[in-house]
Amino acid sequence: MVVGAGLSGLAAARVLERHGLAVRVLEALDRVGGRVLSATVAGAHVDLGGTFVGPDHERVTALADAVGVRRRPTYDGGDNLLRWRGDLRRYRGTIPPVGPAALVDLARVRASFGRACRAVPPGRPGDARDADRLDATSLDGWLRARRATTATRDLMAVVARTSWGCEPAEISLLHVLHHVARAGGLDRMLDTRGGAQEQHLVEGAQEVAVRVAAALRPGAVVLGSPVLRVDRGERTVTVRTDRGTTTARRAVVTVPPALRRRIRFEPPLPARHRRLAQRWAPGVLSKAYAVYDRPFWRDAGLSGMTVGDAGPVFITVDAGPVDGSRGVLLCFVGGPDARAWEVAAPGERRAGVLRSLAYLFGRRALAPLGYVDQRWAEEDWLGGGPTAVPGPGAVVPLDEALREPVGTVHWAGTETATRLAGFMDGAVSAGERAAREVVRALALEDGAGGGIGGGVGNPGRGAGSGERTTGIEPA
């Protein structure tokens, strides 16, 4: 049984089915995809959650390929724009022109950050040298201790808002280093060409989830069924929703860490697992899209990529087709500036975003063919986005609990990944890893000496994973 039909849960279910196990995926929302959500706006597919994939995002690209969802390059021509201190400047490459002195400082801090990153072993942040000390401070504390200039700190705040949906003071330095280390370094994490934004999915990222779900056994995915309670037995697990209960031999729980606390486990989880759920809160980041008949900024030699120190929109990316058949501006909205925006009415939110775009790209930006936004913090069953934010002190004692199985309960979700955590790729690899754990555990339990495929896939052994369902109707 799998709790959550996001990319992680669906990837887990896919692996489990391939091992001949009968799987049920229980999903709270009325859709699959979790933090991946696509929409069609003025004829363009846009991704309101996870969007981009990089060249080393092997698991999610393999999954997309397997279900026939295509990738295309993110537009990367022309000049970027920096909105900075009330001024607008063009630049090329990834380092914004924040002024000569500031650039020297930025280079110094980035070099120091890179060294610190490389010292954190992916998947084992607690084993980093000085792990306790790195965990005891925040990204902001580290920057201040290094006497980073205001410009450097403001730019790192942009990175924090985009990557985690938080301010630099809110997040453990150790987690920041670990996250970036797992993403292959800061450059790779932030770059388009050769980096994590290199490609996006033609049919939309959610289409991967939709197709993986459709390829599962009919009725395997049950929507609109929040899991309220999990009774942990010795060799079984019973999951309760509004619609009934399901018993299986194992559960893979894929919800974001904070949401684990919304499930009542009986007996309760060990204290450190409960602490984890209390200390790894989801970030706050919203996305908006404006879609135009064509990418008119390209005519002016602009890439559509902008970075700013004023809100509500603080980053934009041209997320439209390279052929220019539509103009698609992806806008990130977050940070303290965005608090009023987050609670405003739809019309005001649209007006705020378009004002930002007009400042960057001119008055033509005020009249899109379509507009849509998604405030992840409004999602009751996800809690926020893009990923969980452990505050200072929350990594060393709690990181291991992210993926440490508790009896018959296993864990997935992008936060639990040992590579590319926080990305779609991490979601997929974590789901696959949890599924393999389950397969191994069942094989051991069945006393199958002959490897994974042996006893588990045998339909004679109690209908695969031995699921029994009462009262839950397939969606």
Q: Which residues sit at the interface with a copy of itself, rule CB under 8 A?
A: 132, 136-138, 140-141, 144-145, 166-167, 169-170, 226, 228, 258, 261-262, 264, 268, 271-272, 274-275, 278-279, 281-282, 284, 336, 339, 342-343, 375, 377-378, 380, 383-384, 391-394, 397
Are 213 and 24 contacting, i.e. CB atoms less than 8 angstroms apart?
no
- Nearest distance from residue 356's CB to a copy of itself, in Å? 21
Q: Which of 156, 150, 149, 155 is nearest to 105 (CA)?
A: 149
- Nearest distance from residue 180's CB to a copy of itself, in Å? 20
Residue with the two structure tokens 């700190």:
153
- Nearest distance from residue 111's CB to a copy of itself, in Å? 23
Cβ distance to a copy of itself smaller for residue 284 or 456: 284
The 2-3 sheet, strands edge to edge? 221-222, 25-26, 2-3, 251-253, 409-411
- Nearest distance from residue 184's CB to a copy of itself, in Å? 28
Cβ distance to a copy of itself smaller for residue 200 or 349: 349
Cβ distance to a copy of itself smaller for residue 238 or 306: 238
Cβ distance to a copy of itself smaller for residue 10 or 28: 28
Cβ distance to a copy of itself smaller for residue 139 or 420: 139
- Nearest distance from residue 179's CB to a copy of itself, in Å? 17
Cβ distance to a copy of itself smaller for residue 46 or 276: 276
Cβ distance to a copy of itself smaller for residue 276 or 353: 276
Determine the Cα–Cα distance for residues 415 and 363; give it in Å rounded to an integer.
40
Cβ distance to a copy of itself smaller for residue 316 or 414: 414
Q: For strand 244-248 and strand 237-241, is the pairing parallel, antiparallel, or unpaired?
A: antiparallel
Can you name the residues that pair with 222 across neighbouring β-strands? 26
Are 302 and 361 contacting, i.e. CB atoms less than 8 angstroms apart?
yes
- Nearest distance from residue 275's CB to a copy of itself, in Å? 6
Residue 45's contacts (CB-CB under 8 Å, 6 or more residues apart) are 38, 39, 202, 203, 204, 207
Determine the Cα–Cα distance for residues 410 and 407; give it in Å rounded to an integer.
8
In the structure encoding, which two tokens stand for residue 151, read together? 């410009």
Cβ distance to a copy of itself smaller for residue 92 or 229: 229
> Phi then psi for 246, rounded to 5 degrees?
-130, 135
Cβ distance to a copy of itself smaller for residue 96 or 226: 226
- Amino acid (1-letter code) at residue 193: R
Are 162 and 285 contacting, i.e. CB atoms less than 8 angstroms apart?
yes
Beta strands in 177-326 (DSSP E): 199-201, 221-222, 229-232, 237-241, 244-248, 251-253, 264-266, 280-282, 286-292, 302-308, 313-318
- Nearest distance from residue 326's CB to a copy of itself, in Å? 31
Residue with the two structure tokens 């990837």:
11
Eight-class DSSP state of 172 = B
Cβ distance to a copy of itself smaller for residue 278 or 458: 278
- Nearest distance from residue 170's CB to a copy of itself, in Å? 5
- Nearest distance from residue 28's CB to a copy of itself, in Å? 10
- Nearest distance from residue 131's CB to a copy of itself, in Å? 11
Determine the Cα–Cα distance for residues 439 and 444; give it in Å rounded to an integer.
9
Are 171 and 389 contacting, i.e. CB atoms less than 8 angstroms apart?
yes
Determine the Cα–Cα distance for residues 363 and 347; give it in Å rounded to an integer.
18
- The 8 Å CB, 24+ separation contacts for 143-147 are 143/109, 143/168, 146/109, 146/112
- Nearest distance from residue 339's CB to a copy of itself, in Å? 6
Instruction: Give residue 34's region: left, alpha or beta (phi > 0; psi -120 to 50).
Output: left
